[in-house]
Amino acid sequence: MNAIDEQIQRIEDKVLLLLKEYTSAQKEIQRLQKENNRVNELLQSYNNETKKLNQKEDLLKVSVENLTDQSKKDLEKRIDSYLKDIDKCLALLHS
């Protein structure tokens, strides 16, 4: 009987260990799902902002025809700056 009791105890210990690991894995899954949702929301926000900036850029291109050369250069610098910021944000999301 002693050997059977020891086997039962080992099985119980293994079941308890598996239960702890399962609970830990479930918590990790929930945490990762929350993080994934947050990143997806952030990505959607950046995509919306990108669309808005692209629309503004299109409008600016139309109005650029009336600008002086210096104004065009300044505008190009600002647009390049915006694009660099967007690229940085996208790089952060993909890392």
User: Of 9-13, 66-70, 84-88, which range is least confident?
Assistant: 66-70
* pLDDT tens digits, one per residue of 19-70: 999 999 999 999 999 999 999 999 999 889 888 888 887 777 766 566 677 7
CA distance 12 to 7: 9
pTM score, whole prediction: 0.53
Short-list 55, 57, 47, CA closest to 81? 57
Burial of 60 from C-beta contacts in 10 A (0-12 / 13-18 / 19+): middle
For residues 57 and 79, the answer to whether their CB atoms sit within 8 Å is: yes
